[in-house]
Amino acid sequence: MSPLPDLSRRRLLSRDQALPVRLPWLQSEQAFIDACTRCGDCIDACPNDLIKKGRGGFVEVSFSNNECTFCKACVEVCTVDMFTDFEQSPWPYYAQISESCLTYSQVVCQSCKDACDPRAITIKPVIGRIATPSIDVNSCTSCGACISVCPSDAIAIQTKLPNSSDGNSQ
């Protein structure tokens, strides 16, 4: 029997909790849980100080103060084989904007759009009201640049992909 808790079974009992954002280029959540030694080398290697200890001592990525530049330092320092190659998308995640966004209260803001290098966030003018941002999930790299600059903490990384066929989310 493994000394590590089987978090996938535990998660069945707490379905309302989203998975934490893990390191980029992981093969899967289960591969990470099975292989991670919780040594903390990736925490020390991250130049943007994004990686923190989370539940059970497993690392999580927090975008509250900075963004991921995909420098690969966390992957390169890791001695465990649990990553895909760098040609693949770093994360199967996307950013989502909640209704606590200032624009839903008719306050002009485009901090998220200004911070988004891949230009996945657009704000289109609307007659008679303040325009709200929209995220093209196909262009979103989940770098988190939009999260730390949002004055109302309205943006979060979703760890499950949307079911919509058009690939757009608000």
Give the annotated binding-site residues for [4Fe-4S] cluster: 36, 39, 42, 46, 68, 71, 74, 78, 140, 143, 146, 150
First to last CA, the chain: 44
Task: State how beta strands 51-53 and 59-61 pair.
Answer: antiparallel
Q: Which 3 state secondary structure label does DSSP give 30?
A: helix
Q: In one letter, which amino acid is 2? A: S
Residues annotated in the binding site, as ranges?
Answer: 36, 39, 42, 46, 68, 71, 74, 78, 140, 143, 146, 150
- Of 90, 29, 93, nearest to 55 (Cα)? 29
Q: How many beta carbons lie within 10 A of that of residue 18, not counting itself?
A: 11
Q: Decide if 74 contacts 24 (C-beta within 8 A).
A: yes
